[in-house]
Chain A
Amino acid sequence: GAVVSQHPSRVICKSGTSVKIECRSLDFQATTMFWYRQFPKQSLMLMATSNEGSKATYEQGVEKDKFLINHASLTLSTLTVTSAHPEDSSFYICSAPPGGTLMGDTQYFGPGTRLTVL
């Protein structure tokens, strides 16, 4: 089946630094990718929709200047957490529908990136 990878799987950084997380679709092209955040013992919350070749769409309450998204190719989207603070510590997960499908079908999820900000 389709595979989505994320790198790194874990990252620890100091407060005030920036962290980049990569999301790659390994065997299919993804014109759209989704970024989620999952706090401990909570569900996944959609942060933003990443669109290849255009600006990302952010959910209400998500700061676009803090969470920079770049979808530079059909297989890669990056999420950069700028000036990270301890409250940004979370599990970040990306997903992608294969073949650019937008209508209610399977999404493939990456394994997630655990960010810890000290």
Chain B
Amino acid sequence: AQSVTQLDSQVPVFEEAPVELRCNYSSSVSVYLFWYVQYPNQGLQLLLKYLSGSTLVKGINGFEAEFNKSQTSFHLRKPSVHISDTAEYFCAVSDSGGYQKVTFGTGTKLQVIP
């Protein structure tokens, strides 16, 4: 079984400032890692994913994340945020070895302050 921890429930940041949203996972097997964004009253949209290969993954809207196996982390970063980035962000993990069930973290609400 896997688990995901997002320690920060809310992250306020000023517009054009950098941001890092933290995600740590626990698993006894190899995993795939995902970041999803959820805008108010909408479903989830995939930002980026790590399946294998390069540990630095670039996604949409200028976001990137780095897979760190030794620290079991997959932190999400953006060098300069915009007002439109205000949303809920979910880190997720699935078992890479077989049937895909995705386990989500509790989410981090990113609030961009003008």
Contact = CB atoms under 8 A, between A and B. Distances in A.
Interface in B7-65: 9, 32, 36, 41-46, 49, 51
Interface size classification for chain A: 20 to 34
Contacts, number: 59
Nearest to B4: A43
A103 B98 contact: yes
Interface of A: 4, 6, 34, 41-46, 49, 93, 95, 97, 101-107, 109-112, 114
B102 A43 contact: no
Chain A CB count within 10 A is highest, among B44, B46, B49, B103, for B44
B106 A43 contact: yes
B70 interface: no
Given A95-B102, A109-B45, 20 more contacts: A6-B43, A42-B107, A43-B105, A46-B101, A93-B44, A95-B44, A97-B100, A101-B100, A103-B96, A103-B98, A104-B51, A104-B95, A105-B49, A105-B51, A105-B100, A106-B49, A107-B102, A111-B43, A112-B41, A112-B42
